Every structure is written in C-alpha cells, then in structure tokens.
Amino acid sequence: MGKGVTKDLELVEPNPAVPILAGPSRFIRTMLNESYLIRNLVRRDLRARYGRAYLGFGWIFLEPLLLSAVYYILFAMIADRPEPNYALHVIIGVIIWGHFGKSLQATIGCLTQGGSLIKQVYFPREILAISPVLTQLLISIISLTAVIPVMWYLGVMPGSSIWMLPVALVLATMLALGIGLIFAPLNAISQDVSHLFRFIVRAGFFISPVMWTYEMMLQRASGGWVDLIMLNPMVVPITYARHGLDGTALSLDLDHVLYSFGFAILSLLIGMAVFKRWEARVVKYL
C-alpha cells in the first residue's frame, strides 16, 4: 500500500498546464480563494514603502501634489492662457496616469521580482501580479485627496457625474493588469521587455492627456487625427476622472468610449489566459 501511495504521488504534476480558455476563470478563482493572502501582501507593501519615512503615508498626498505643481508651472510658462481648471486637470492626470504606469510595470515584472520566492515554495503566482496593482490602486485613491484643496481654491464642486471617477480607476486598473499579464511571462525570459515598457510609460505620459485635455486636443486636431489619438485607451479613463470631479459635461464620442472599455476587457481576459498558460513554463528562466 505504501508503494501505491508513493506511485500516486509521483504522478501528480505540480504545475499542470492550464487550457488557454480556462485561464481567466482560474485567475479569478485564485483572487477569491486567496483574498486573505492578497490583503496581507498589500499591507506589507504599504508598510515597506512608507513605514520608515518620517512623513509616512503623508507622501501619498504630497507626491502627486508636488509633481502637479511643477508640471503646472512649466506649462503655464509655455502656454499663454491655460483654461481655468487646468491645475485640477493636471493633478488628476498625474494621479491616474501614475496609477496606470506603476501598475503596468509592477505586473510586467511580477515574476522576476518574486523569483527568489517562487524558487522556494509553490503558490499561485498570479498573487504576485494582483497584490502590487491593488496596492497602487489604494495609494491612488488616497492620493486623490490631494485634489480637495485645489477644488476648494478653484470653487469646483463635483456633481452627479462623480460616478465616472471610480469607473476611471477601474478602467485604468484593468488596462494595466491586462497588458502587464500578457507580457509578464515573456519578461521572465528576457527583461528587455520591462526596459521597453519603462520607455513606453515615460513616452505615454506625453501622448496621453496628462498635461493636456481631451478638449484641448479637439481645438487643435480634427478628423483622422482625433481617431488616431483616441487609439490610446488611456484617454477615456483620464477624461472620465476629470469630468467626474469637476462636474462638467462630457463630450466623448460613444465609439471611442466603447473602444476603450472593449480594449480594457479584452486585454484583461487575454492577459489572464496567457499568464495562467505560460507562467509555470517560464519560471525555469528566473
């Protein structure tokens, strides 16, 4: 009987191949089953970032505020007369784009960053991708409190469109996680991927509506140029966040909104499928 048990144990595959279509369901199941572990990892990440700083979690508030002040002053020196709420639009753009960029880079590097832990013990590796993104989401939500003094100074009050703000955060999170999961296994083979996306995030800061707004773009572009710019799926979430907070009417075309939402959903589904299919096969490169 002992030999039979040993034989059965030897036949168990520790990293069974996951069918490509089953990837998303397996990924979501892990998020639900391992929610306790994910919460603990998020707490650990937060303490590691701010626990030893004198200002502690105050940096979550100060960092976007200081960055936005620098960007606003630089743009005000270049542009003659920026729109009245431009300072508010800049800080919102900095926070939303910062959340997307940091979440994307963390997801792409999740396997390489957790390489030493992966070699020691088996656990669902998607946790390494989920926890830093949720950490960054929490930081971004807290960072949005930095807009309160700016809104008070400008006399801006959010209205019934405030629902667009959480939608924008969820959309940016889906985009970052989906794209990151697609390329995380490839980055485990060659870290050239993470270097490439570091450049893409920096370049994307300027081609996304961080320092400019959707309305400013419409004043300078038309026709095919607008459609080309709107291929960037981050235009919609940043614009949603701005209009959700300042309460102004939204003029986005429905086709562009549907494209951004479709891109986010599809990239997330593909990312979960690719990650679950290939993550066990690439750990040998770590």
| For residues 220-247, average pLDDT | 92
Supply the pLDDT for residue 236: 97
Read off the DSSP letter of residue 234. Answer: T
Which band of pLDDT confidence, cut at 50, 70 and 90, is reported for residue 11? very low
Flag whether pLDDT at 6 surpasses 50: no
Supply the pLDDT for residue 82: 63
Let me know: does 20 contact 273? Beta carbons within 8 Å. Answer: yes
Q: What percentage of residues in the chain have a pLDDT greater than 90?
A: 45
Name residues whose C-beta falls within 8 Å of residue 100's C-beta, 6 or more positions apart in sequence: 172, 173, 175, 176, 234, 237
Supply the pLDDT for residue 1: 47
Predicted TM-score (pTM) of this structure:
0.87
Lowest mean pLDDT among 56-70, 90-104, 143-157, 254-268: 56-70
Q: How many helices (H) and strands (E) does the chain have?
A: 15, 0
- Rounded Cα distance between 257 and 233, Å, is 9
Structure tokens given for 21: 């279509």
Q: What percentage of residues in the chain have a pLDDT greater than 70?
A: 86
Name residues whose C-beta falls within 8 Å of residue 124's C-beta, 6 or more positions apart in sequence: 30, 34
Supply the pLDDT for residue 57: 65
- What is each CA distance from 126 to 104, 273, 276, in whole angstroms? 14, 11, 8
